[in-house]
Amino acid sequence: MSRQVPYEYDMRHMQSSSRAAYPSFLSFHETIWIHTKCLLKGLLDAFRWDLVITTATSDPEIRSNILKSLLLNSLSLASIYAFDLLLQPLVHDHPSWLRRNVGWCYQVLWLLPVVGVSFYLNSSWCNTIAKRTFVLQYGNRAVQPRHVTYTGMLNALATSAYRTVMVLTSVIVSFGLGAIPRAGPLISFAFMCWIDAYYCFEFVWVARGLSLASRVRHLEERWAYYFAFGFPSAAICTWGSGLANAALFSLLFPAYIIMAMTARPAPQDPYNPLPSADVVRYPSPLIPIRLRIFAIVIWLNDIIVQILSITGSAGQITRHHRALSHSSEKAEEGTGVEPPRLTNNVSGRSVRRNEFRSPVERTREHRKEPSMDRRKRG
């Protein structure tokens, strides 16, 4: 009988340790309430026009760039709507050849050059606004610029080219989603909400040194917040023609960059949205933590980068179609940027931001007792 005591003790110990290692989950209603609060916080951060006015009036450099962007994009919008509301009605009753020639000449000789120049200059002005706002908000902690070298110039060209490719593929995916019967327009609109939010936050992510994989993962794991943040701009920019919507977004873009600089996306930890000192509680398994929103976009980018051979390593683009590849980051940034390291408050160990751990591993690490405490008890 005495021989069975250790066996029974071991079985009880194994059962208790297995039960302790099993992850704890929030209920479905609690998870819904957390995502609802994230949606409301995203909407609130997207309507902080008081911060835009305060930032613009307090810094002359930001104010001058906002005014230049406002004037040039207003000219683009006026040119677009002048053609739609004035020229087309005037030549509506004239022969078809006159209507075609007038429209073609106006668009090629005036509209497209004005819009193209405004987009190019607006990108430069928005970079200046983002850098200056980041310094005002966080101090001089921006990523230090690299020395101007031939390799650096190639990397800058690769970054600009990849960003252009990503914008084009996002537009293509949006049109493709809109072509789906019935639910297509709603799906396309939701996708544009996330796209708008991504480009509004891209400047602060790059300034903090996040790689492409880290930026995309950060948005996909906080999809409720970023959907709400991009909702106002997407709703404003869906009522006109394609060119008019793009010009209108460029008009609003500097303001949303300033809002993004001061925003605090929620939740802070998507895998433990209600932090507790005792136990990690994951969201309900019925609601996904991460939505692969950019999977198709990144897959298309890999294909286009392979075809165009943007960088010397384009031939090494990964062959599979999973979400993000290391070579995509190289094509977008020239060289891979290591994401910042985070410290786990419970275990004291350093983990990477984009490192994935299973719920069981996270729970075991969270509940693991430090060795010094064990010695004291002994």
d(CA 218, CA 213): 8
Highest average pLDDT, of 85-99, 212-226, 235-249, comes from: 212-226
Query: Same structural domain for residues 353 and 281?
Result: no
Domain boundary among 258, 273, 293: 293
pLDDT of residue 334: 47
Q: Is the pLDDT of residue 152 over 60?
A: yes
Highest average pLDDT, of 61-70, 106-115, 243-252, comes from: 61-70
Cα separation values, 27 from 277, 283, 366, Å: 19, 7, 20
d(CA 54, CA 86): 38
Q: Which residues of 200-238 are buried (b: 16+ CB within 10 A; e: fewer)?
A: bbbbbbbbbebbbbbbbbbbbbbbbbbbbbbbbbbeebe
The pTM is what? 0.74
Q: Any idea which of 26-40, 46-60, 72-86, 118-132 has the lowest mean pLDDT?
A: 72-86
d(CA 218, CA 244): 30
State the total domains in the chain. 2
pLDDT of residue 329: 55
pLDDT of residue 82: 82
Query: Same structural domain for residues 37 and 121?
Result: yes
Per the model's pLDDT, the better-predicted residue between 160 and 187 turns out to be 187
Query: Taking residues 201-218, what's their average pLDDT?
Result: 89
Per the model's pLDDT, the better-predicted residue between 239 and 193 turns out to be 193
Query: Same structural domain for residues 288 and 350?
Result: no
Query: Same structural domain for residues 273 and 351?
Result: no
Q: Which residues of 251-278 are buried (b: 16+ CB within 10 A; e: fewer)?
A: bbbbbbbbbbbbbebbbeebbbbeeeee
Query: Same structural domain for residues 224 and 356?
Result: no
Domain boundary among 253, 273, 293: 293
> Is 132 a domain residue?
yes
Query: Same structural domain for residues 199 and 111?
Result: yes
Per the structure, the complete domain to which residue 362 belongs is given by: 343-378
Per the model's pLDDT, the better-predicted residue between 352 and 211 turns out to be 211
Query: Taking residues 333-356, what's their average pLDDT?
Result: 41
DSSP bridge pairs for 24: 281
pLDDT of residue 362: 52
Query: Same structural domain for residues 370 and 241?
Result: no
Confidence of residue 375 (pLDDT cuts 50, 70, 90): very low
Q: Which residues of 283-316 are buried (b: 16+ CB within 10 A; e: fewer)?
A: bbeeeebebebbbbbbbbbbebbbeeebbebbee
Q: pLDDT averaged over the chain?
A: 77
> Does an H or E element contain 352, and which?
strand 350-352
Query: Same structural domain for residues 258 and 361?
Result: no
> Is 223 a domain residue?
yes
> Is 128 a domain residue?
yes
Torsion from C-alpha of 256, 262, 266, 272, nearest 10 degrees: 150
pLDDT of residue 161: 75
> Is 207 a domain residue?
yes
pLDDT of residue 301: 86
> Is 37 a domain residue?
yes
- For residue 267, whether the previous peptide bond is cis, meaning omega lies within 30 degrees of 0, is yes
Q: Is 135 exposed, middle or buried (0-12, 13-18, 19+ CB in 10 A)?
A: middle
> Is 331 a domain residue?
no
> Is 319 a domain residue?
no
Confidence of residue 156 (pLDDT cuts 50, 70, 90): low
Query: Same structural domain for residues 277 and 372?
Result: no
pLDDT of residue 345: 42
pLDDT of residue 356: 44
Angle at 69 between CA 68 and CA 73, to 5 degrees: 120
Query: Taking residues 44-73, what's their average pLDDT?
Result: 94
DSSP state of 315: G
Angle at 377 between CA 371 and CA 378, to 5 degrees: 90
**Which residue stretches of the chain are H helix?**
4-21, 28-45, 49-58, 60-82, 88-90, 96-106, 112-138, 150-178, 184-207, 212-220, 223-236, 242-262, 295-308, 326-333, 359-367, 371-377
pLDDT of residue 148: 57
Query: Taking residues 361-368, what's their average pLDDT?
Result: 50
> Is 277 a domain residue?
yes
Q: Is the pLDDT of residue 144 over 80?
A: no
Query: Same structural domain for residues 364 and 268?
Result: no
Say if residues 83 and 244 touch (Cβ distance below 8 Å).
no
pLDDT of residue 93: 67
Per the model's pLDDT, the better-predicted residue between 144 and 106 turns out to be 106
pLDDT of residue 225: 97
Highest average pLDDT, of 125-129, 159-163, 205-209, 222-226, comes from: 222-226
d(CA 241, CA 111): 14
Q: Is the pLDDT of residue 358 over 70?
A: no
Q: Is the pLDDT of residue 5 over 80?
A: no
pLDDT of residue 307: 81
Say if residues 255 and 63 touch (Cβ distance below 8 Å).
no
Domain boundary among 293, 314, 330: 293
Query: Same structural domain for residues 211 and 281?
Result: yes
Q: Is the pLDDT of residue 254 over 90?
A: yes
Query: Same structural domain for residues 128 and 47?
Result: yes
Q: Is the pLDDT of residue 137 over 90?
A: no
User: What does the pLDDT look like over 277-333, one tens digit per residue?
Assistant: 578 889 999 999 999 999 999 998 888 877 876 445 444 444 444 434 454 555 555
